[in-house]
Amino acid sequence: MPRPRVVVVERMDMTGVELLKKECDVVELYERPGEALEQHLPEAEGLVVRIARLGADRIALAPKLRVIGKHGIGVDNVDLAAATERGVHVVFTPGSNQEAVAEHALTLMLMLARRVEDAVRRARAGEFEAGRNAPPGIDLLGRTLGLVGMGRIGGRLAEICRAAFRMRVLAFDPYVSPERSRELGVERVDALDAQLEQADFVSIHAPLTPETRHVIGAAQLSRMKPTAYLINCARGGLVDEAALVEALKGGTIAGAGIDTFDQEPPDPGNELLRLPSCIVTPHVAGASQEARVQTSRMVAEEVLRVLNGQPPRYSYNPELSAAGARC
């Protein structure tokens, strides 16, 4: 019996690749420069993607496709409706990188608070005394953190900030139960504006949906303190980038730490890349060594479950299994 063909579109840790190779014919597309994904779609029974877009047009080119494995948790790059209509399972890896993303968000908070990027630049330029005499940063101890979304990642960041820095944590998330909030020692707020007005740091940890696109725009930024900082390690589309540029240039807020962009890679002309009050990283918040191993293993296991006729454990369209869709 022929082995199923699985196309791994973007590079991932070899732990998952080797798991797939035990049972599948694996095409590592990132090892084939110049080859387009489209030429491999007609034979693909499984696809593994990180941020590559799988729209309805590409899904239509894959008549044998049975499962799409998302290396991560956000599925905004996959046309879920088109996949579901075709009976294609979309699986993902919840919790695989929560520690990595939470720690990266904290890293950006600390770098902004202590003006680390400017201090490093001055030290390397030989401006030692000027660096020592530059305006000092602030401590995180006792500050207020505002979370926009408090799932696994937001919850973990809340734990760290409360335990390490005794921070007050406010959470705006209509889907979080009062019990979960009490467990974490977090104050739930029903209105985003009420949180923004109080927070010293606002960290976004929400999925990108039509309802959450530009959840932070000009109106929301104007409600933040001029001394406050915005952190986004979730999805670029959650923030109106043009409004953020204006807020940073005008001093509406003190700074921002941005790991994700609306367009990736961002246009070289994107002003967020050059503003000194904005620290940027190339969508690496979830890419610690441990997270990469765990994520690759989980996505491979979920893809193999579907290809072997088993219901997936972590699915964005679980109704397919309930309906007895082909798997």
Give 143-157 pLDDT, tens digit per residue.
Answer: 999 999 999 999 999
* Same domain assignment for residues 57 and 190: no
Q: Does position 7 have pLDDT exceeding 70, yes or no?
A: yes
The secondary structure of residue 72, as a DSSP letter, is: S
Q: Which of 86, 168, 283, 305 is catalytic?
A: 283
Mean pLDDT for 227-243 is 97
Active site residue 235: yes
Secondary-structure percent of the chain, ordered helix, strand, coil, rounded to 5: 40, 15, 45
How far, in Å, CA of 288 to CA of 104, rounded? 9
What average pLDDT does the structure give for the chain?
95
Q: Does position 1 have pLDDT exceeding 80, yes or no?
A: no
Active site residue 104: no
CATH of the domain at 83: 3.40.50.720
Report the share of the chain in percent with pLDDT over 70. 98
* Same domain assignment for residues 272 and 140: yes
Mean pLDDT for 173-201 is 94
pLDDT at 324: 44
Residue 208 lies in a domain: yes
* Same domain assignment for residues 213 and 119: yes
pLDDT at 314: 95
Cα–Cα–Cα angle for 170, 176, 181, rounded to 5 degrees:
50
Mean pLDDT for 56-63 is 97
Residue 293 lies in a domain: yes
* Same domain assignment for residues 230 and 293: no
Residue 270 lies in a domain: yes
Residue 45 lies in a domain: yes
CB 253 within 8 A of CB 231: no
Q: Which of 38, 85, 183, 264 is catalytic?
A: 264
Active site residue 264: yes
Residue 198 lies in a domain: yes
Beta bridge partners of 231: 203, 257
How far, in Å, CA of 164 to CA of 239, rounded? 28
Q: What is the pTM of this model?
A: 0.88
Residue 23 lies in a domain: yes
Structure tokens of 38? 């489209």
Domain ranges, residue 275: 98-280
Residue 327 lies in a domain: no
pLDDT tens-digit readout, 70-105:
998 888 899 999 999 999 999 999 999 999 999 999
297: left (phi over 0), alpha (psi -120 to 50) or beta: alpha
* Same domain assignment for residues 254 and 133: yes
pLDDT at 34: 84
* Same domain assignment for residues 133 and 249: yes
Q: Which of 235, 292, 297, 305 is catalytic?
A: 235
Q: Does position 305 have pLDDT exceeding 80, yes or no?
A: yes
* Same domain assignment for residues 32 and 111: no
CB atoms under 10 Å from CB of 250, counted, come to 11
How far, in Å, CA of 174 to CA of 308, rounded? 37
* Same domain assignment for residues 25 and 91: yes
Give how many domains the chain has, as a whole number.
Answer: 2
Q: Which residues, at least 6 apart from 101, have a Cβ–Cβ distance to it below 8 Å?
A: 153, 205, 233, 285, 286
* Same domain assignment for residues 62 and 147: no
Residue 255 lies in a domain: yes
pLDDT at 327: 30
Kindly report whether the peptide bond that precedes residue 282 is cis, defined as omega within 30 degrees of 0: no
* Same domain assignment for residues 175 and 244: yes
Band the pLDDT of 322: cuts 50, 70, 90: low
* Same domain assignment for residues 79 and 109: no
CB 296 within 8 A of CB 96: no
pLDDT at 204: 98
